[in-house]
Amino acid sequence: MISFSRIAAPLLTVTMLVSGLAVQAHEGATGVVKERMEAMEDVGKSMKALKAMITGEITYDADKVRMAAKTIAGHGGDNLTRLFPEGSTQHPTAALPAIWEDWQGFSRLAADLASHADALAKAAGNDRSMAESSMGGDMMSAAPAAPTPAELAGMAPDSAFMALGKVCGSCHKQFRKKKE
C-alpha cells in the first residue's frame, strides 16, 4: 500500500511547480528564451489540468488526460533541449548554468519528460484503482527502481502522473533558479 506521503509529496511538488510558472513574468523575454518560457507555460497548464483530474478536483476524463500528456510529450526530448542553446542565459530566464555544465543530465531529463508523458497518455484509460499498488515496493525492501516508461504505461494513470511530476521536480531542482 502506498503511504499518504508517497502520494502527497509528488502532488505538492507539482502544485508548487505549476503555480510558480504562472507567476514568472515573460516580460522582456525575446527569442529562444521567450520560446522556452512559452513552452514551459504550456507544460505547466497541462500539469495543472492533469493534477485537477488526478486529485478529483474535476471529473477524470481519459481523453483529456491523453491530450494534456501529449502536449507535455511534445515539449520534451529534443523539442526541449533545442530551446537551450549554450549562452541563452539572458534575463528573464530562470535557466541555471548547470544546464550546460551537465548537458547529459539535462538531456536525459528532457527525454524522460517526453517518455513519461507518452506513458501517461497510454495509461490514461487504465483502471485508476490500480494506483494503490502500482508504484511498487514494500516497507522491508530497498527502494524500488524507477519504473520504465513501458511499466508506467501499464500502471494507473495516477501513478504515471506522479512519476511525470517527479521528472519535472528533478529538472527544476537541478536546472532552474529558485523563486525569490
pLDDT digits (tens, 9 = 90+) for 64-110: 999 999 999 999 999 999 999 998 988 899 999 999 999 999 999 99
User: Which residues face 95 on adjacent strands?
Assistant: 176
Binding residues for heme c: 168, 171-172
Q: Quick check: 123 and 160 in contact, CB under 8 A? A: yes
pLDDT at 28: 82
- pLDDT above 60 for 11: no
- Average pLDDT of the chain is 85
pLDDT band for position 139 (cuts 50, 70, 90): very low
Q: Quick check: 123 and 148 in contact, CB under 8 A? A: no
Binding residues: 168, 171-172
d(CA 71, CA 74): 5
For 12-26, how does the pLDDT look when each residue is reduced to its tens digit (9 = 90+)?
Answer: 555 555 444 444 456
For Cα atoms 79, 82, 84, give the angle at the middle one, nearest 5 degrees. 125
Q: Quick check: 21 and 41 in contact, CB under 8 A? A: yes
pLDDT band for position 41 (cuts 50, 70, 90): very high
Q: What are the structural domains, with CATH classification, of the chain? A: 4-134+145-175 (1.20.120.10)
